[in-house]
Structure formats: structure tokens, C-alpha cells
Structure 1
Amino acid sequence: MTRFGIFCPPAIGHLNPMCVLGRELQRRGHTVVFFGVPDTLTKVADLGFTLIEIGASDFPEGSIDPIFKTLGQLTGQAGLKFSISFFQREMQMLFREAPQAIRDATCEVLIVDQVTSPIATVADYLNLPFITVCNAMLVHREPAVPPYFTHWTYKTTLWARLRNRLGNAFVNFISRDLWNDIVAQRQRWKLPPYRQREEAYSPLAQLCQLPQAFDFPRERLPSHFHYIGRLQDPSGTEPIAFKSVSFPFDRLDERPLVYASLGTLQNQRPEIFECIAQACSTLDVQLVISLGNPQAQPINLPGNPLVVPFAPHQQLIERSQVVVTHAGMNTVLTALGCGVPLVAIPITNEQPGIAARLALSKAGKTIRLDQLDETTLRTAIVEVLTEPSYRDNAQRLQTAIQEAGRVERAADIVEQVARTQHPVIAK
């Protein structure tokens, strides 16, 4: 049996799929060590992992929610820049504390979220194998693939490739301090320099929650890259679901259910919730809105929707005819995994890129934030409700997710890496 160490951002959309993989490895007899700041470990405390606290001085208990609240108020490039700033603070902490924590825990293989890229350098320093997991949008670059943070469509023309190149150059520019810190740390530890950013991903196995049918066409992914589909627990529940929060299922009626959620990060936008409620107020549907925070205060919205602080995501999506979302990966994959079409209103970070793939797949409609209004949104919801092709395409992707193998295949790949590697635990 193997001792796996997991590193993941503290956001629920990243934690839930990573915890699903961790629990599957536990079920197979392995030991799973979860590293995190105090607020992260509180969220995963009852899942049976070995917990190792790091970063308490940089991110003391209670500090993560205010960071996420600020992010939830931002859109577009402002949100992207704020996220990069957070990752830089996190990276400095990881370089300082992670090596000794991993040594003390005697981990043999590391499982690393793609956006926790500093751990790749830590793994190289400790001579440990690691596996990359793309819990959010994969950020691998190719000439014909638009940057992950854009709404741009996939095109192979020369002008589109130039556009993509300029977009990636912009990302390089705004994340230059983050990259320079990684370069400097590798120099201090006398590690081979990275020639390109993709070298921070595992040379052994890279796992992606998308099914291949939902991604743009790819030509340059390595042979050890695997589309595995949504990492969902076999029980159908999410590991971090705030089980103490009840939901009034008895208030659901026979009308078509429209479920709206802006996730747990981009949920500080009451004007978007109001627009959703106003758009549905004249439709013969039942609208359920999750505010994405168990501590959220009630808000009054037009049309008498059922508004709750936090909802049982999976159970409501299974009953829905349409899901209105910010295009977060967790919500989109849950809906597609249930064969439910979506209307996406991407806000920041990788959400425009996810929405662009949704539009290409024709499993839903996408509305840019700067074009959002009541009439446009109502028209999109009605179209997705009444045009069968959207549900047909969502069900096509549901089949693709199931056939990708999901958490069982992901765990098989992780175990194969563990079997073929002979790590040297740094002392």
C-alpha cells in the first residue's frame, strides 16, 4: 500500500473532486495524507484522511472566507489578477513549509491540483513522483486553443492562432511574478530550469475531469494525459456538502425546475441573482436559487423563487430541466453528468473558457456578463427548455463522462504510477 499526499486549493470546487479521489484510494487500502491551511482541514476533517496543517501563520483560521468573498465580488481580469495574487502568497508558503511537512508524513507519491503548481518543484526537490489533477479547466496551451480565461471560440485560422498567442502572452505578463518566483526557487534548490510552463505538470500522469468530447480539439497533449470525466463519489453525494444545512424538498412542485447557482466563490453578485429571478418570474417554472454559502443572509427576489443559503447540489440538478450557472467546472460537470442542459453566465477566471466549450458542444447557451439582461436571459432559458437538441447534447456528454471511467479509472492510473515508481523519501 502507498502513502499518498494531496495538495489542493481551499475552494470547494477543487476540494470535492480531489477528496473523491482520495476516498477512492482509501477504499483500496492506501493511506491518504491531506495537506492544507486550517480552513481547508476544517472542511475535510470528517473524511478520514491523515491531516497535516501548513500555512497557519500566513492563512490563519478564518482567513480564507474573506479572501473568497472578495473574489466573489470581482469579474473578468480583476478576478483573474486577484486569483494570481492569492496563488503567489500560497506559493511562498508552500516553498517554505511543504518540504518538511512531506518528509515528516513520509509520503511516497504526491497528488497535486494543477493550479497548485509550486508543489511540482517541491516534488522535484524531494525526488518524489507526483500526479497532476486538473480539477478545474486544464490550462495546457496549444496554438489553436484559446487561453482558458477567454470566451473565444476554437478556430485554426492564422488570425485565431495569433489572437491566442497574444492572449497567452497577456497571461504570462500578469503572472510574471508568480513564474519568476518558481524559477528563482528552482535555482536555489539547484533543480533543472523549466523551459516552458507545461513542465510544471506531471511527467507520469495528468488527470482531467473533462470528458474529451467537451474539450476543444487537441493535438499536443502528452501520452500520459487522461480525460477521466467528473470525479464523483459512487454514493452520488459530495464529500463537502454542509450536511447540516437542510433543504425544503416538500416545497418543490410539478413545474419544470430551473436551478440557479453561482457556486461558492462567485456568489457575491446579488444583481445577477436578481436578473435570474426577474427572467424566470413570467415563466411557468419553479426557480430554486442557491446563494452558495451556508451563512448567507436571505434576500428578497422578484417572482417568489425558492432561495436557500446552500443547496444539495447533486439532488437538485438531477431534478432540473435547466441549470443556470456561472460556468464553474463543478456545476457544469454535475449538470452534464446528469444529462441536464445549462445556461451559462461566466464571470471570471476559467469560467469563460468552460462556457465557450459549452457553446461548442451545444449542450447549453452562453451569455457574456456584459450582455446580460432580463430579456436575453429569459430568451436563453426558454430556448434551452423547449429545444430538445440541448438536452440531447447534454445526454450525449453524460454518456461521454460515464465512458471516460471517472474516479475508478483515475484511481487505477494513480495506482499504476505508484507501482512503477520507486521513490526515495528525502530525509
Structure 2
Amino acid sequence: MTRILITAAGSYGDIAPYTGVGARLRAAGHEVALATHDAYAPLVRAAGLEFRSLPADPRTARPAADQEPGQEEPGQEGPAPRKPPAGGNRALMRQAAAFIHRLGDGLAEAARPDTELLLLSTTTAPLGRQIAEATGIPSLDLPLVPNAPTGDFAPVVSGGRSLGRWGNRTAGRLALRVIDRLYAEATRDLRARLGLPPASPRTVRRRTEAAAPPVLYGFSEVLVPRPADWRPGLEVVGNWWPHLSPDAQLPSVVADFLASGPPPVLIGFGSMASGEGERLSSLAVRALRRAKVRGILQSGWAHLATEREDDDLLTIGEVPHALLHPRMAAVVHHCGAGTAAAGLRAGVPTVPVPVTADQPFWAARLAALGAATAPIPFADLASPDAESRLAEALTRATTDPALRAHAARAADRLAAEDGAGAVVAAVGRLAP
């Protein structure tokens, strides 16, 4: 038995996969705590894990002066805001750095003296390495996205367009240096708090790279084959699915709606598009009616909702993807890493509407696999032809047998993978 601390920060998609990993580790006999934001405490405890609190919940991280009237959930993906604040990229970087700085203090509190192994998400890894150095606790990075430079593709946050092999690798290295800058102040103060000599995030990162520790990536080679130019030890192990209780069931209102007619289309933007619920809801309903398909709007941070419920429309809150997606005719979403994988796991076609960050990357991967329509960038939903474009995509997603066949084949491949099992095996090799 090993006392393990998993650390994860950001939005739901940044945290939920680690509940599945934690539950598998617990089933293997380990004692597991997950440190994250207070809003996800019920999620963590439902998986049978100890919850430890981290500050700087991204839904409340933006200063009140920056919030729109009546907007309580400004939205922010990990350290990056959903909407650029006034002042552009420079203000965005300041805001992200402030989020990270508060996170460092919380991580130091969460890593109690009896911790024997640290498992670090992408957002928490640069700070977690300082804690590992100070305490001597071994650590293992568990990123959800491919963040090591490669010639195969450009950094996932660059929009998904290849720059050629040399350009992709160069952009990948530059992306790491941007991350180093974001973590610079937090790293300086955390190292001082921990009694460590001064060292920049870049210095610590390069020391880590030179040591070539194992890194396990929680996505599938179905979407991203392991780059041939990655060093040994960087392994793509398959998705980590959020913990789901064996007796979990759909809410009765959802089950009744599904039983009342043909499979609907699910439309939701997760933690994206905060404050745009009214416009997006109206657009979604018009496109659904134009495509002549039933629809479920998932509220999310945008607060999507129909003006009135009828036999063809339903508004829902949080419902596990694993229960909902397999019952859909198609899914429309922002293409976060976890949501993109969940739709593929269900074997249903996707209509990608990427917003920012890594989402255009995953949208392009789904389309290249033949399991999705051509992506509709989120900004295009404000264009005059948005309704017709979305309706056409809905029609194709629900009627083209090739899309469903490609999605079904991908689902079969995903079902054969065991990403959480790979983490359990790695922990067995690393644990004291």
C-alpha cells in the first residue's frame, strides 16, 4: 500500500479523468487523495478518494471588476481564461500567473508529510516538481494532452495547423518557454517557501528532461499516435475515464425523454462560452428544428436552456458522458480532450465547435479520423450563416452512415485500451 496524492487543477475536464485513475489505484490497495478545487469535492469523494482543497477555482478566479453584470462563472481553462480580459494577451498572462501563484501555496499544503508518491497533472506538474525536490517524494507526470515537442504536429494550443517538422518542433520548444514564464513568479516564491535554492522553471524543467523520467499520457493513439521522435519513457497509454458508480443511472427525466422518440442530438459547451447562453441556446434550437432532429441542451457554464420544454427538446445539467453519449444520434461540443474522447468512446458522430486552447487540435483529429463533420469554429457561430451551417452539420452527422461507422470502429479500439491500468502498473514500479 502506497499513500498517493494526485493533484489536478482547472475545469471539470481537467479533474474528472483523475477520479477514474484514483479509483483504480484504490482498488489496487493504495491509499489515494486527490487535491483539487472545492467545487469538485463531491466528484472526488464519490470515487472513494480523500479530498484535499486547492485554491483558485477557475470559475471564481477572475477579479470582480472584470466580470460582466450577473456573471458568476467567468470561465477559465486551467490557468487560461475563457475570454481574453480587457488589455489583451498581456492581461491574460497576468491573470493566468495569478491563478498559478495561488495554486502553488495550495499544493504545498496538500502534500502532507506522509505522502509517498505524487501524481501530477499538466497544470500542477511545474509546481509539483518543486515539492518533489524539496521533500524527496517521487513523482509521475500524467498529462491529458501531448505537450512534448515533436515534428509530427505543432503544439496543441496553436490551432492544429502543421508548420512542417522543423517548425512544429521549434514551436513546441517555444510553447514550453511560454509556460516557464507563466510559472516563474509562483516557482520563485514556492522554492523560497520550501527552502530550496533559487532556480527558474526552465532550469528545473531541463533538469527533469535530462533525467528522462517516465511520463504517461492519458489519451489514445486512436486520435494521436505516439510521435516517433519522442524520447523513450514518453508513453501514450489510453484515456482515463471519470469514475462512474456501477449502479449509476440516467435521471428519470432524461430516460423518459429518450424513450419518447428517436435518439436526439446533444449540444453542450462544457466550461466554455460563459455568458453567451441566451444567444447560443436560440441558435441551437433553430438549427435543431431546421435539421428536423430532437435535441438535448446541456447547460454547462454557458447556461444553455430552451425557452420551453416540448416533446423534441430537453435541457439538462451535469450527466455523465458514459451514460448519455451512447444514447445520442450525434454530439455537438467544444472538443475538449475528455469530451472528444467520450463521444468517440460512445461510437457516435461529433459536430466539433472548438473554442480555444487545445480544442481545434482535437476537432481536427476527430475530423481526420472520419468520425466528425468539418469543425465549425466557435467564433463562426456569430456569423449570419451560423444557423444554416450548424443545421447542415447536424443533418450530416445524423444521416451519414460513414461517420457512424468510423466512430464505431474507433470505439471498438478504445474499448480494448486500459489507460488506468497502465498507471497502476507504473505506480507499482515507482512506489517505495
Q: 2:315 is paired with a residue of what secondary structure? A: strand
Q: Distance in 2 between matches of 1:19 and 1:82?
A: 33
Q: Distance in 2 between matches of 1:321 and 1:88?
A: 41
CA 296–371 in structure 1, closer or farther in 2 if over 3 Å, else same: closer
Native 8 Å contact 1:71 1:83 kept in 2: no
Partner of 2:73: 69
The answer to whether residue 230 in structure 2 is matched with residue 221 in structure 1 is: yes
Q: Distance in 2 between matches of 1:374 and 1:152?
A: 25
Q: Distance in 1 between matches of 2:48 and 2:379?
A: 44
CA 81–91 in structure 1, closer or farther in 2 if over 3 Å, else same: same
CA 222–266 in structure 1, closer or farther in 2 if over 3 Å, else same: farther
Q: Distance in 2 between matches of 1:164 and 1:301?
A: 51
Compute the displacement of 1:91 (Å).
3.2
The answer to whether residue 78 in structure 2 is matched with residue 98 in structure 1 is: no
Partner of 1:332: 340
CA 46–317 in structure 1, closer or farther in 2 if over 3 Å, else same: closer
Identity %: 19
Partner of 1:416: 429
The answer to whether residue 29 in structure 2 is matched with residue 29 in structure 1 is: yes
- Paired residue type of 1:269: E
Compute the displacement of 1:229 (Å).
2.1
Partner of 1:358: 366
Q: 1:219 is paired with a residue of what secondary structure? A: coil
CA 25–184 in structure 1, closer or farther in 2 if over 3 Å, else same: same
- Paired residue type of 1:39: A
Q: Distance in 1 between matches of 2:322 and 2:138?
A: 34
The answer to whether residue 119 in structure 2 is matched with residue 111 in structure 1 is: yes
Native 8 Å contact 1:261 1:290 kept in 2: yes
For residue 399 of structure 1, the aligned residue among 389, 406, 412 is 412
Structure with larger RCO (C-alpha < 8 A, sep 6+): 1
State the TM-score, normalizing by the size of structure 2: 0.80
Unmatched segments (≥5 aa) in structure 1: 423-427
- Paired residue type of 1:249: A
CA 69–392 in structure 1, closer or farther in 2 if over 3 Å, else same: same
Deviations 1:186-229 (A, max 9, x none): 58723776358576689433222221120166233232223222
Q: After alignment, is 64-73 or 310-319 more displaced? A: 64-73
Partner of 1:263: 270
Native 8 Å contact 1:229 1:404 kept in 2: yes
The answer to whether residue 163 in structure 2 is matched with residue 176 in structure 1 is: no
Q: After alignment, is 120-129 or 68-77 more displaced? A: 68-77
How many residues align? The count is 407
How large is the Cα RMSD of the aligned pairs?
A: 3.8
Partner of 2:388: 375
Compute the displacement of 1:167 (Å).
8.1
Q: Distance in 2 between matches of 1:396 and 1:275?
A: 32
Compute the displacement of 1:143 (Å).
3.6
Partner of 1:341: 349
Partner of 2:298: 290
5 Å-filtered alignment, 1:110-259, equals 110-117=118-125, 118-135=127-144, 137-154=145-162, 156=164, 161-162=166-167, 165=170, 169=174, 172=177, 176-179=181-184, 181-182=186-187, 189-190=196-197, 194-195=202-203, 203-215=212-224, 218-232=227-241, 247-252=253-258, 253-259=260-266
Compute the displacement of 1:30 (Å).
0.8
Native 8 Å contact 2:219 2:239 kept in 1: yes
